[in-house]
Structure 1
Amino acid sequence: MTDGRGSSLLRSVHGFHVCERTRHPGPISAHPLHWRETSLLAPGPGQLLLEVVACGVCRSNLHMIEGDWAADGVPAINPIIPGHEVTGRVAALGEGVTGFALGDPVGVQPLWWTCEECEYCTSGREYLCHQRVITGEHVHGGYGQYMVATAAHTYPIPAGLDLIDAAPLFCPGITAFGVVDKLDVGPGDTVAVFGLGGVGHMAVQFALLTGADVVAVGRTKEHLVVARELGATRTVDSTDPAALEQIADSADAVLTFADSDAVTAQALRTLKWGGTLVTAVPLNLPSFPFNQGQVIKASILGNREQMRTVLQLAAEGKVRTVTERFAMSEAATALELLAQGKLRSRAVLHN
């Protein structure tokens, strides 16, 4: 393995530890994860080897580990190393890679590879590429000491950003930005955010940057506290029918990040006639009254330019992640707390 200039790298590394989902998925409480040592892979053409610093813990990791998506072919390989919001430092460069140097701080998001040729890739919508490869679902991810990444989908991290706190920028950050970027709102408008976990707490901040008033709606006390700390104009306990009634038909835009039919119904009741709902989760709609002139949009991640904008906004101190840190060896613990709804915001594993 070389750095492209002929010097040998990582001579002392014979193997490294990774956390894999076993071939037999099950509830996280049944311990479907295990640690093992594996051989260090050299990056191929157009790839980088990263020494992982941190990896955020996403609910989609939990779905995959517990086998919820097995019928849809996820994960694509088995066993697999989960994790798709990764930060680290460049440890080796594959053939043809330019623009990176050894030791550079970088990050990788769920979009690991795209074809670069289809109508979506050539129009700034690479997240819709039909051949897209997802980090930690189709290829090994960041629950380990090293990870191979595609250079075209690896992002330099601005100086000054903490690499552990920066990890969630690569999934909650870009997802939330992509959702808010689909809105046309500003001062005088009201945006309601439903679901205040990892993605929702970032959406509150991006919505505030538009100048709109932001109403944060959630059922977890700690999530509401975080939303207030981040500047939400108002917080609403979604378990309180009277509080929900007070915001009915009040929001020019509603953002949803909770995969729940009950939350979807609450969100639509909050949305004004003629308003826009943007969702980053599946929706089930038993009915949709066309005569109210409302618009529903779906959003997934964001493009490369948007990802760079997210990183710049974080570097400028305009948005921040709220994280709970766990050693990489505590992956199962972090996932169990996520499953139990006991995380304040986003868990991040670190080496």
Structure 2
Amino acid sequence: MRAAVLDGPESIDVRETERPTPDPGEATIAVEASAVCGGDVEAYHEGPPGKDSVVPGHEVVGRVAEVGDGVTDLTTGDRVGVPWLHEACGRCVACSRGDEQMCPDREITGTDVDGGHAETLRAPAAYVHEIPEAFEPVETAPLLCAGVTAHNGLRAAGASAEDRVAIQGIGGLGHLGVQVADAMGADVIAVSRGEDGRDAALELGADRYVDAEAVDVAETLQELGGADAALSTVPAGEAMSTLVGGLAENGTLAVVGAPSDPIELSARHLLDGDRAVVGASSGTRAERERHLAFCARHDIAPWTEEFPLRDVETALEAVEDGTVRFRAVLVP
């Protein structure tokens, strides 16, 4: 089979590899779509962590090709999704309290084990998600990480109907955050740099657009009454800091971007208004199931651009350059 093998920093090659077979409790999946995440771009530059090579990709939809011994809830031909979390131990403190994504012994799809930028991958049957036939593979794959991450961030920020909710960054994560917040019934304020994103943000469901290049974001949000909840999807701590200043009293900023620079906070601003800053992760199996059901009810789908598997480097470059609107998806 063909797979995109990352075998060093900025060294990824689509080549013939051995097709995997399922161990007991596992299934092999014939890939229909594998979305490209920002984490894939980071891995591309850094190389495979602690190993010679790996096949990236952790937002995957395909059909079950074969099941291993002991698998009774999947059959050949079922459409399934393979997410970021490959497997957790099920015994540690984090797993015991329901936070399997925080398991210290977790394995990550496309990092610790081969992922979906390939024609076939294998995964534990207990960690894949059955995908209804009505779901399009290319549109569904990004929901398995980007979608649920944005949704979890909004929940962590306490977003609810009629809240003023600021979404910073209208890209792979943010454009899904806008749709989810709109479906919640929130007053959605999209925040991004430049006027190029205005039309897309409003089409996605934002009620207002704030151009971060033209105005002071914190002041503008406060003039609107302050953000009751905010979600930052950008990889820039300086930009995130502006959202903190725009929070309403009792407002919460949820961070799902991963900046290399620090977020600057005013302790007085937090204390005086009972404001908070929290992080949000990609979520559990149960949260992913709820997110998929929510998207089905509200007709939420990512904006995608398809790339053939052989053009994996082109897709990675497009994601890094921000030229994709808004999620690149590889198809074998």
SS at match of 1:207: helix
Return the offset for 1:45.
Answer: 1.4
> Where do residues 268-279 of structure 1 align in structure 2 (5 Å cutoff)?
268-279=244-255
Return the offset for 1:244.
Answer: 5.8
1:111 aligns with 2:121: no
- Equivalent of 1:210 in 184, 189, 206: 184
Task: State the TM-score, normalizing by the size of structure 2.
Answer: 0.92
CA deviation string 1:86-106 (max 9, x = no partner):
010000001111211101000
Residue 22 of structure 2 aligns with which residue? Answer: 43
1:53 aligns with 2:32: yes
RMSD: 1.8
One-letter amino acid of the structure 2 residue matched with residue 322 of structure 1: W
Unmatched runs of 5 consecutive residues or more in structure 1: 1-15, 27-31
Unmatched runs of 5 consecutive residues or more in structure 2: none
One-letter amino acid of the structure 2 residue matched with residue 250 of structure 1: G
1:182 aligns with 2:156: yes
1:226 aligns with 2:204: no
Give distance in 1, aligned partners of 2:266 and 2:256: 18
CA deviation string 1:159-205 (max 9, x = no partner):
20101111101111111111122233434320101122111111112
Q: 1:253 to 1:317 in 2, by over 3 A?
A: closer
How many residue pairs are counted as aligned between the two chains? 325
- Equivalent of 1:143 in 117, 139, 148: 117
Give distance in 2, aligned partners of 1:45 and 1:235: 51
Residue 108 of structure 2 aligns with which residue? Answer: 134
Residue 257 of structure 1 aligns with which residue? Answer: 233
Q: 1:303 to 1:18 in 2, by over 3 A?
A: same
CA deviation string 1:235-289 (max 9, x = no partner):
1122112566322361111111112022112211221232111111346234431
- Equivalent of 2:6 in 21, 26, 46: 21
Return the offset for 1:223.
Answer: 4.1
Task: State the TM-score, normalizing by the size of structure 1.
Answer: 0.88
Residue 281 of structure 2 aligns with which residue? Answer: 300
Q: 1:182 to 1:242 in 2, by over 3 A?
A: closer
- Equivalent of 1:63 in 26, 33, 42: 42
Return the offset for 1:158.
Answer: 1.6
SS at match of 1:35: strand
Residue 263 of structure 2 aligns with which residue? Answer: 285
Identity %: 33
Return the offset for 1:330.
Answer: 1.4
Residue 235 of structure 1 aligns with which residue? Answer: 209
- Equivalent of 1:324 in 285, 295, 305: 305
Say whether the 8 Å CA contact 2:154–2:229 is kept in structure 1.
no
1:34 aligns with 2:13: yes
Give distance in 2, aligned partners of 1:326 and 1:221: 27
SS at match of 1:347: strand
Q: 1:178 to 1:243 in 2, by over 3 A?
A: closer
Give distance in 1, aligned partners of 2:287 and 2:45: 31
More deviation in 311-320 or 32-41? 311-320
CA deviation string 1:122-164 (max 9, x = no partner):
3321111111111111111111100011111100002201011
Return the offset for 1:220.
Answer: 5.6
Give distance in 2, aligned partners of 1:77 and 1:85: 21
